[in-house]
Structure 1
Amino acid sequence: MRALFSVLYPVISITVFGLYPSMTIGPKEGWQVYSSAQDADGRCICTVVAPEQNLCSRDAKGRQLRQLLEKVQNMSQSIEVLNLRTQRDFQYVMKMENQMKGLRTKFRQVEDDRKTIMAKNFQELKEKMDELQPLIPVLEQYKTDAQLISSFKEEIRNLSMVLTAIQEEMGAYDYDELYQRVLRLDSRLRNCMGKLTCGKLMKITGPVTIKTSGTRFGAWMTDPQASQRNNRVWYMDSYTNSKIVREYKTMEEFVANVVSRTYNLPFKWEGTGHVVYNGSLYYNKYQSNIIVKYSFETGRVLAQRALEYAGFHNTYPYSWGGYSDIDVMADELGMWVVYATNQNAGNIVIAQMDPDTLEVQKTWNTEYSKRNAGESFMICGTLYITNSHLTGAKVYYSYSTKTSSYEYTDIPFHNQYFHMSMLDYNARERALYAWNNGHQVLFNVTLFHVIKTEDDS
């Protein structure tokens, strides 16, 4: 190769322009351009120049030179073909590169879409889980309910067996005969109840809270003389400076606070020692020792009467105060009023009163201080007195009007709300009505009864 270039050097020159595009190299004088190759942009890659043919036509080496020129032309053509192929390949590569870039963009888009779709699907799953979360306690409850239903089914099967046995036993009797037996049994029970005499207080249980309403002090009651179908409730809030009485048709409506009627009394009351008896309200007139009888039916005062020597307006109240000097009561034996006088040294006086005329028929003087008593109530002609209106109170003292004697007792009861401002016995219900610090409550009582026999007169 070196020898070849040594031979060609004097007569041929190959100039490469592509490396220096800013340079313009022309052939020397007397030289002729035989061939050149250019790139796609028209830039010259190589140029072959040689002396003009007439300069060498007579040269002995002219033949060889022509042969070399032909080879150079062939090489130039080959280079041009190669350049074209290279340009074509370059364009193909550029096209492939653009396609690759497009694919990368699509892959990135797919990846982003995949993340978005996954995030969206995850969010949908989370929302679905959030919707299903509240069902868990429901399912737990369903398990409990299923067990309860299973237990109910078992009880029903047992009850069915018992009923079947009863039905088989009843099959031996005629229905009319059974009906007559029931009537005879009912008659015997009523006769037995009729022979129950007044009993002695043995126990107080409860309380049962019926309602929470009103102020700290007040009174509520039912009529012990009313029929079993008449269950009206009367409600008198506060211990003074009021004339409003609210009436409820039933205990249920009282609890629901459904007032059926409101009465505006002609006089204000004092204390909480009121009572409803045979359709009328009996109460202590404000700032006086007068008892007032007010008819709910007519809305009028039917009678008024002063209690002789009775203290009033916080002269001899119960231990909690509240102008509770005069306390009207009712029991199985009729109407009563409890108060205190100077003549009895402030001790409690019991008076039996005519419910129509309010005339005092008989009195009993006790030796129990009115101011030391928490509350009191009458059962079967016996006055029971509590030693306090606060927590720890108990029935401490009783006085029998039948024997005109007293005794100390120890009957506890639960002062649930710590302050008792009203305690009254209802003979029909055999229960104590109480106002316990803004709560209306009931106590059950247990009495010791003596049953009369045919030999008793």
Structure 2
Amino acid sequence: MHLFSAMFLLVMLAVMPGEALYPRPEEGWEIYSSAQDADGKCICTVVAPAQNMCNRDPRSRQLRQLMEKVQNISQSMEVLDLRTYRDLQYVRNTESLMKVVDGKLKVASENPRSLNPKGFQELKDKVTQLLPLLPVLEQYKTDAKMILRLREEVRNLSLVLMAIQEEMGAYDYEELRQRVLLLETRLHSCMQKLGCGKLTGVSNPITVRASGSRFGSWMTDTMIPSSDNRVWSMDGYFKGRRVLEYRTMNDFMKGQNFVQHLLPHPWAGTGHVVYNGSLYYNKYQSNIIIKYHFRSRSVLVQRSLSGAGYNNTFPYSWGGSSDIDLMADENGLWAVYTTIPNAGNIVISRLEPQSLEVLQTWDTGFPKRSAGESFMICGTLYVTNSHLAGAKIYFAYYTNTSSYEYTDIPFHNQYSHISMMDYNPRERVLYTWNNGHQVLYNVTLFQVIKTSGD
């Protein structure tokens, strides 16, 4: 049987690249089972690693730790060198004084009668001047011990480096790093080609930061081809206009390197989304959707979402003017809301990103006030049963078949009050605002991939 004609069944662990280090560093591609189906085709179950996994290879981590140790040793040597230089200058300055004292002592020992009261007092004064030399000499003894410790540390580092060099073989570190970058690029491309899947699991929460009030939203650009690393934060759900833009995720974690956007119209709720460099949000006290472009700092388009409830008419169970929830997934831009004709049941509309026109609409039949939060993955709406502790994902609506099912996907609601939960298809993680904490979840997607030979 040719490999290219096989059908592979993959369970892909999709995680966020970059800063945040989510799986264990030693994890990699793992084949959990290998068998044949009734037709004799190969079936495999595989978990893919994080997209930046190679950067977290144990050897790379070990090398980084060694570099830190070398840096610490260098700093210790600099301090030691500075102190030794200072003390050596002091010893040199007292050298002539020590010779004088030594000479007077020799004369006094050879002829004790020559040491009259005046001479004795002079000798005593000279010795007193030498007393500060004692702590200097004591410091030299301490420094000598430090040198022995540093020498032992350097010896240990040398042994570890030799072991790593033997493990790496003929390749030097720079060559391995270039290979890692190439493999990482190919892995990222492969994961994007894998396409969509069905949500089967959510990881433990990763708390990125604790900032802002109880309610809010934060996000990165959700357009898949984008390489934009900026992070945006919007605190509160009521009449807000201030959007903070951070240069990178690391800057967001540290609360530094940000600029402020003051929106021309205030927002309502927390269901905002950034897609292709623009912020899509619900205008306060209306069912109007606004597209605000960050770089030009201008509104490109605004359009009313016909019949959509607003101003806490049909919010999620936590309230907060969460009537209209905008989101994005692998299939584009979506609006989740409800209308009076739909009796308060969740409505899903796919939007055209440029004009905000509604392309297609689905009535899920699920009451929006009974939902804690919701998000889209691969054209499927997933709904949580609560925004409080004990929440789980228990309803899924499939737009490709206009069908639904009840699910039982638990996740740990660590801070017990979620007011925003959105999927990012570019990074394949869930962004949440949980009681003033910004939290990420990795997701597990179940996929069936058929090769061209099937």
Note whether the superposition's TM-score is higher than 0.5.
yes
Q: TM-score, normalised by structure 2?
A: 0.62
| 1:201 aligned onto 2:184 | no
How far did residue 244 of structure 1 move?
1.0
User: For 2:334 and 2:169, how far apart are their aligned partners in 1?
Assistant: 53
| 1:363 aligned onto 2:361 | yes
Q: Percent identity?
A: 59
When residues 156 and 404 of structure 1 are mapped into structure 2, their CA distance, relative to the original with a 3 A threshold, is: farther
Structure 1 runs of 4+ off > 4 angstroms?
A: 148-156, 178-191, 226-229
Contact kept in structure 2, 1:196 and 1:450, CA below 8 Å: no
User: For 1:200 and 1:450, how far apart are their aligned partners in 2?
Assistant: 10
When residues 180 and 245 of structure 1 are mapped into structure 2, their CA distance, relative to the original with a 3 A threshold, is: closer
In structure 1, the partner of 2:166 is 164
In structure 1, the partner of 2:246 is 248
| 1:372 aligned onto 2:394 | no
In structure 1, the partner of 2:340 is 342
In structure 1, the partner of 2:64 is none
> Which aligned pairs between 1:413-424 and structure 2 lie closer than 5 A?
413-424=411-422
When residues 406 and 326 of structure 1 are mapped into structure 2, their CA distance, relative to the original with a 3 A threshold, is: same
User: For 2:253 and 2:185, how far apart are their aligned partners in 1?
Assistant: 35
In structure 1, the partner of 2:430 is 432
Residues 316-346 of structure 1, C-alpha deviation per residue, up to 9 Å, x if partnerless? 0000000100000001110000001111111
> Which aligned pairs between 1:91-110 and structure 2 lie closer than 5 A?
none
When residues 379 and 259 of structure 1 are mapped into structure 2, their CA distance, relative to the original with a 3 A threshold, is: same
The structure number with the bigger radius of gyration is 1
User: For 1:447 and 1:149, how far apart are their aligned partners in 2?
Assistant: 52
Q: TM-score, normalised by structure 1?
A: 0.62
Q: Secondary structure at the match of 1:450?
A: strand
Structure 2, gaps ≥5 residues long: 1-134, 136-145
How far did residue 164 of structure 1 move?
2.6
What count of residue pairs does the alignment treat as equivalent? 310
How far did residue 441 of structure 1 move?
1.0
When residues 156 and 447 of structure 1 are mapped into structure 2, their CA distance, relative to the original with a 3 A threshold, is: farther
How far did residue 387 of structure 1 move?
0.2
Q: Secondary structure at the match of 1:313?
A: coil
User: For 1:417 and 1:187, how far apart are their aligned partners in 2?
Assistant: 35
User: What amino acid is the match of 1:335?
Assistant: L
In structure 1, the partner of 2:267 is 269
Contact kept in structure 1, 2:270 and 2:325, CA below 8 Å: yes
How far did residue 425 of structure 1 move?
0.6
Q: Secondary structure at the match of 2:166?
A: helix
> Which aligned pairs between 1:272-421 and structure 2 lie closer than 5 A?
272-421=270-419
The 10-residue stretch of structure 1 (189-198 or 255-264) with the greater mean CA deviation from structure 2? 189-198
User: What amino acid is the match of 2:437?
Assistant: H
RMSD: 3.3
How far did residue 182 of structure 1 move?
8.5
Residues 336-391 of structure 1, C-alpha deviation per residue, up to 9 Å, x if partnerless? 00001111111000000000000000001011100000000001110000000000
Residues 94-134 of structure 1, C-alpha deviation per residue, up to 9 Å, x if partnerless? xxxxxxxxxxxxxxxxxxxxxxxxxxxxxxxxxx9xxxxxx
User: What amino acid is the match of 2:421?
Assistant: L
When residues 325 and 194 of structure 1 are mapped into structure 2, their CA distance, relative to the original with a 3 A threshold, is: closer
Residues 210-250 of structure 1, C-alpha deviation per residue, up to 9 Å, x if partnerless? 11111111111110227675311111111012211111111
User: For 1:324 and 1:450, how far apart are their aligned partners in 2?
Assistant: 35
Contact kept in structure 2, 1:196 and 1:452, CA below 8 Å: no
In structure 2, the partner of 1:6 is none
User: For 1:333 and 1:153, how far apart are their aligned partners in 2?
Assistant: 57
Q: Secondary structure at the match of 2:453?
A: coil
Q: Secondary structure at the match of 1:408?
A: strand
In structure 1, the partner of 2:229 is 231
Contact kept in structure 2, 1:326 and 1:337, CA below 8 Å: yes
**Greater relative contact order (Cα < 8 A, sep 6+):** 2
User: What amino acid is the match of 1:193?
Assistant: M
Residues 368-424 of structure 1, C-alpha deviation per residue, up to 9 Å, x if partnerless? 100000000001110000000000000010011111111111111111111010001
In structure 2, the partner of 1:214 is 212
When residues 159 and 319 of structure 1 are mapped into structure 2, their CA distance, relative to the original with a 3 A threshold, is: same
How far did residue 264 of structure 1 move?
1.2
The 10-residue stretch of structure 1 (399-408 or 188-197) with the greater mean CA deviation from structure 2? 188-197
How far did residue 189 of structure 1 move?
4.5
User: For 2:151 and 2:302, how far apart are their aligned partners in 1?
Assistant: 63
> Which aligned pairs between 1:57-76 and structure 2 lie closer than 5 A?
none
Structure 1, gaps ≥5 residues long: 1-127, 129-141
